Amino acid sequence: MTSRLLHAWFGVLATLVGVAAGHLVAALTEPSASPVLAVGSAVIDLTPTPLKEWAIAHFGSNDKTVLVGSVLVGVLLLAAVAGLLARRRLAYGAALLVVLVAIAAAAALSRPTAGPIEVLPSVVAAIAGVGALAWLVTRTTSGAVPAGSAAADDRHRDTSHGDTSHRGTSRRAVLVASGTLTVAAAAMGGIGRWIGSYLTRPEDVALPAPDDPAPAFPAGLDDRVPGITPFRTATSDFYRVDTRLTLPAVGLDGWRLTIDGDVDREVGFSFDDLTQMDLIERDITLTCVSNEVGGHYVGGARWLGVSLTDLLDRAGIGHTGADQILSTDVDGMTISTPLELATDGRDAMIAIGMNGAALPREHGFPARMVVPGLYGFISATKWITRMTLTTYAEHDAYWTQRGWATDAPIKIASRIDTPRPLATIDAGRTLIGGVAWAQHRGGVAKVEVRIDGGPWQEARLGPSAGNDYWRQWYLPWSAGSGRHTLTVRATDGRGEQQTAVRATPFPDGSSGLQQVVVTVT
Ligand SMILES: Nc1nc2c(c(=O)[nH]1)N[C@H]1C(S)=C(S)[C@@H](COP(=O)(O)O)O[C@H]1N2
Ligand SMILES: [Mo]
């Protein structure tokens, strides 16, 4: 290995040691303050909305992996540079490492809930990283490099390839030092992971039966229409959209839901308090505002929770001047919900259960808000800890600051699941099928399909699980050979038809009709 490569490797290894040490300290104090995650989260928050939309569209649920990966690659490249600098002079390399860590510390401190403790992982990362670099450089260089003579020493080493005894000592020292530090980094990383995974076990939480159960769930068209979206989305298949890089490790012991702001009295609830209140159970279809026409950021589940108005009544909002509920999650992220819509009699709730089990961590354990008819970004706060009654004039929530709408009812939408876009199918009798949703606007009353330029044909609807839930539909079709364009549209229970006017998700949800082109042979 050349001296340059070797020093680049020293930089990388020293940085890995620092990152692992920082990660371990973060796991013991504040997991999201881990250097790489802090930088990643800051990148998410600083990313302009269009780029974020693009990433969600292209990487889907892998967007976070791609982001963390990019941050890591960037950091390791700089780490290699730090190693090369340390070859000139240790202080130069150490300085670059300190700059890197300072960026991570600044990122950690920029988190909404940041306290002084958030710098601790970065400080430890800096000490461990610089220490490891110094150790590697001095231990594996024949004779300590006196400050100021680095360049001369360099020239000497670059011409010393014939000096086998020198190379031999170095190589053994390098192997031992590298091995020791690699094991140390892996051990610290492993312990950090173990601490994180051991904290929370939603699957051990038993939930009481609902006081106000949902009606029996009807069998959908799942078996009758091959390729159609299941009537109820399995929890493991439920879409996930949030700004988090790691799932918050919330234990039930310390968790509380507080209601404050412009209320008669501030109140707080433990998880047990919630389970002892009247529990309602409802079938509700959640939708993300980032869902494109024909997209899959939508899912139907059975939710169990405490009615939002029951909770707000405990705090007393009879005299409130508030127009929004500003909810805060365990990490300080905020979501605003229009107070009037959330309390207009719809089945808004603080949910603690999903499809018959406690919420999984991905979907908000231990509790989240669910408000039928409003896009998730203004209603579905996961890992919720606080609801503050306030005004839009006084407080901007996370997405409000980024230009998204504050008032965003879910638009009427319909999707073709089968045949798939650009599919080639056999001529003859087949079924066109899919789902449509029109939550809290009377549900889906009608779905129509148009084949090429033909007339709109009324599809058959699957059973209803209530007006806040999506509906499956299908249309038998005698497919003749050739290329065909299928278009779908829905009408809600109030007689309003899905608009054909195209709109992007930003700022209040996409619209337009989905068209699917298929080839029949
Ligand atoms: N704490 C928190 N809650 C959140 C979000 C988030 O980023 N953080 N994303 C919201 C958005 S945009 C949507 S669409 C829904 C998605 O809920 P799901 O991931 O359970 O499907 O959660 C909402 N709740
Ligand atoms: Mo969303």
Q: What is the pLDDT of residue 166?
A: 43
Query: Is a pLDDT exceeding 80 seen at residue 245?
Result: no
Let me know if residue 45 belongs to a domain. yes
Asked, for residue 407, whether it belongs to a domain, the answer is: no
Among 241, 362, 383, say which to mutate for ligand 1: greatest number of ligand atoms within 8 Å of CB: 241
Residue 328 domain flag: yes
Nearest atom within ligand 1 for CA of residue 363:
20
pLDDT, one tens digit per residue, over 198-227 is 555 788 898 999 999 999 999 999 999 999
Is the domain of 272 the same as that of 374? yes
Percentage of residues of the chain with pLDDT beyond 90: 65
Of the residues 196, 224, 247, the one at which a domain ends = 196
298 DSSP β-pair partners:
287
CB neighbours of residue 144 within 10 Å:
10
* Chain position carrying tokens 């509906």: 471
- Residue among 56, 242, 359 whose CB has most ligand 1 atoms within 8 A, to mutate: 242
Domain of residue 254: give its range.
235-401
pLDDT of residue 155: 35
CA atoms within 13 A on the CB side of 48: 2
The CATH number of whichever domain residue 347 belongs to comes to 3.90.420.10
Q: Are residues 118 and 72 in the same domain?
A: yes
Contacts of 339 (CB under 8 A, 6+ apart): 317, 320, 322, 323, 324, 325, 389
pLDDT, one tens digit per residue, over 419-431 is 999 999 999 999 9
- Residue with the bigger pLDDT between 244 and 137: it is 137
The CATH number that applies at residue 449 is: 2.60.40.650
pLDDT of residue 60: 64
Query: Is the distance from CB of 414 to CB of 498 less than 8 angstroms?
Result: yes
Question: Would the CB of 239 count as within 6 Å of ligand 1?
Answer: yes
Q: Is the domain of 253 the same as that of 343?
A: yes
Take atom 18 of ligand 1 and give the residue whose Cα is closest.
240
**Tokens standing for residue 400:** 């409000």
Instruction: Please indicate, yes or no, whether residues 288 and 436 belong to a single structural domain of this protein.
Output: no
Residues 381 and 445 in one domain: no
Q: Are residues 380 and 440 in the same domain?
A: no
Tokens of 267: 């109140």
- Residue 162 covered by a domain: yes
Q: Do residue 377 and residue 291 come from a single domain? A: yes
CA 409 to centroid of chain Cα atoms: 22
* Residue 176 domain-assigned (yes or no): yes
pLDDT at 159: 38
The domain boundary residue, chosen from 375, 401, 427: 401
Alpha helix stretches (DSSP H) within 262-396:
271-276, 308-315, 339-342
CA separation for the pair 27, 30 (Å, rounded): 6
Do 424 and 393 share a structural domain? Answer: no
Q: Tell me what the mean pLDDT of segment 105-113 comes to.
A: 76
Q: Which atom in ligand 1 lies closest to the alpha carbon of residue 330?
A: 1
Q: How many domains does the chain have?
A: 3
Domain boundary among 401, 434, 456: 401
pLDDT tens digit sequence for 66-103: 777 787 888 889 999 999 999 999 999 999 999 988 88
pLDDT tens, 43-62? 777 777 777 777 776 666 66
Least confident among 167-181, 218-232, 409-423: 167-181
Q: Is 383 in the pocket of ligand 1 (CB under 6 A)?
A: yes
pLDDT of residue 154: 41
Q: Same domain for 69 and 42?
A: yes
Query: Does the residue 92 lie in any domain?
Result: yes
Instruction: Give the β-pairing of 267-269 and 257-261.
Output: antiparallel
Query: Is 0.85 topped by the overall pTM?
Result: no
Mean pLDDT confidence for 299-321: 98
- Quick one: pLDDT at residue 309? 98
Omega before 419 within 30 of 0, i.e. cis? yes
**What per-residue confidence (pLDDT) applies to 146?**
41
Please tell me the predicted confidence (pLDDT) of residue 161.
37
Q: For 115-157, what is each residue's pLDDT tens digit? A: 777 788 888 999 999 999 999 888 876 544 444 444 434 433 4
User: What is the distance between the alpha carbons of residues 212 and 230, in angstroms, rounded to a whole number?
Assistant: 25
User: Both 380 and 454 in a single domain?
Assistant: no
Answer yes or no: is the C-beta of 286 below 6 A from any ligand 1 atom: yes
Average pLDDT value for the chain: 88
- Residue 199 pLDDT: 54
Residues 157 and 258 in one domain: no
What local confidence, expressed as pLDDT, does residue 196 receive?
A: 59
Closest to 113 measured CA to CA, from 331, 395, 259, 385: 331
Ligand 1 atom having least distance to the Cα of 242:
7
- Closest ligand 1 atom to 288 CA: 14
Cβ(406)–Cβ(442) under 8 Å?
no
Element (H, E) at 319: none
Q: How many CB atoms lie within 10 A of CB 460?
A: 14
Token readout for 452 is 């090429």
Residues 143 and 270 in one domain: no
Rounded CA-CA distance 476/247 in Å is 44
In a domain, 114, yes or no: yes
Ligand nearest 386 Cα, by number? 1
Residue 223 lies in a domain: no
Alpha carbons 383 and 243: distance in angstroms, whole number: 12
Rounded to an integer, what distance in angstroms lies between the CA atom of residue 35 and that of residue 40?
A: 9
